[in-house]
Copies of this chain bind each other. A is one copy, B any other.
Amino acid sequence: MASTQLTFSSQESHRAWLASQAALPAGFRVGTMRLDFTPREAPKPAKMTLTLIALDRPTPDFAAVFTRNALPGAPIVIGRRRIEEPTLGAVIVNNKVSNVCAPGGVEASEKICAETGRLLGLAARQVLPSSTGVIGWGLPVDAMLRSLSQAAATLAPGSILPAAEGIVTTDLYPKIRRAALGGGSIVGIAKGAGMIEPNLATMLVYVLTDLAVPRADLRAMLRRAVDETFNTISVDSDTSTSDTVALISSGCVAGVDRAAFERALTTVCGDLAEDVVRNGEGVRHVIRVRVERAANVGLARALGKAIVNAPLFKCAVAGNDPNVGRLVQAIGKHVGAHAPSTDLSKLRLTMGGIEIFAGGVFQLDPRKETALVDHLRDAELYSSVIPKDGVFTAPIHFPPHERCVEIVVDLGTDSAGATVLGGDLTHEYVSENADYRS
């Protein structure tokens, strides 16, 4: 999925690379502001960052896709209306509070949009809101309204890095991907499957471009790109109430080739999707499953997801244990429950290029076992640090490499295929999501 194979030895070298990717496309400015507030629902003070993405001129050329969760956040409800508006002029994002099913949530979010619009000379309906953070809390509207003018005052062209940093929650590092083409660029940022502090689990992605592509084409391309990229990843099988991927063109650079644009867009989305998994909560190994020669893409993708979501296999990977029995269990479980007519007699499995199953039986020996352990160790992002207090935390703030645990599932029956990315299941994941209260 990734078009690149990067390695980093330190947070500094990773930040230098991010800076090299961060040039904003023409026609955009970003600004951020940090604020303190005390949530009504909890007695202790908290911090939030407001991130503002503004266009120099409102654009008709924008697209967005939203979560399929049936109990979505207020910004999703509003976003589905905004997509029908003739133009978009700004995006306002807050972390820390997701504004999901909170009393008066839609009205609160509209107030933020109205004030953002007033500061930028826009109507509220030209502002797309996003929120990520605790589910169940309401937005601290008054504190946010007071801070918005300061966020607007920091608006600047040049670098998207402040926005990439502003939207994160439990992410270990910011995520930026870019493609240059046709005299312009496509630049995307993402916040990943973090669950900041108590309970946040949202992916927010903003892809900006100065290349002029009409609205209808942007929307069709974004749907296809998301389907191939963000829809093929899973950190923990949970679906956020706030997931959003937005694509906005300032239209400053004319004449781009549409096919080249779509290829570049898909690459940027694919790289960001892999970044999100690699920085998923507690992820120590990225698992890439390629399902080949399946009856259809739907089965190939579902089988890939069944593997990367199987808790026992995820735990084995976390332990650098080539427990291929659990891999076979996951395949048999999915096929038995959802595609029982599938012929598994030609099933062939490899891990790290090593054949582990063929002809209906395991193909294992001690030499292969050693090679499989080496493959798992090679794909590990960091070693667990055993904590004195029982709370495991990731010891890195950068992605040391882009290697994956590579699994190929060859069904041998037809011609459809799909690639799915997921992560392992670690003590760091449990600590992040169970150990944050005393």
A residues contacting B by CB (< 8 A) are 41-43, 67-72, 98, 100-103, 105, 134-136, 195, 198-199, 201, 236-241, 309-312, 315-316, 318-321, 323-326, 328-333, 335-337, 340, 342, 344, 347, 357, 360-362, 364-366, 369, 384, 386-390, 392, 424-427, 429-431, 433-437
Contacts and interface: CB of A to CB of B under 8 A. Distances in A.
Contacts of A392: 390
B361 A101 contact: yes
Contacts of A239: 329, 332-333, 336-337
A25 to B, nearest CB: 33
Contacts of A436: 319, 321
Given A386-B390, A427-B390, A437 B311 contact: no
Assembly of this chain: how many copies? Answer: 2
Contacts of A337: 68, 239
Contact of A319 (B134, B312, B433): B433
A70 B329 CA distance: 9
A381 to B, nearest CB: 15
A394 to B, nearest CB: 14
A332 B70 contact: yes
Nearest to A193: B312
**Interface majority SS (helix, strand, loop, mixed), chain A:** loop
A280 B246 CA distance: 42
A230 to B, nearest CB: 15
Given A71-B331, A237-B311, A312-B238, A321 B430 contact: no
Nearest to A388: B386
Contacts of A240: 329
Q: Which of A328, A330, A344 has the most CB of B within 10 A?
A: A328
Given A199-B316, A315-B433, A316-B199, A329 B360 contact: no
Contacts of A319: 433-437
B434 A329 contact: no
Nearest to A363: B103
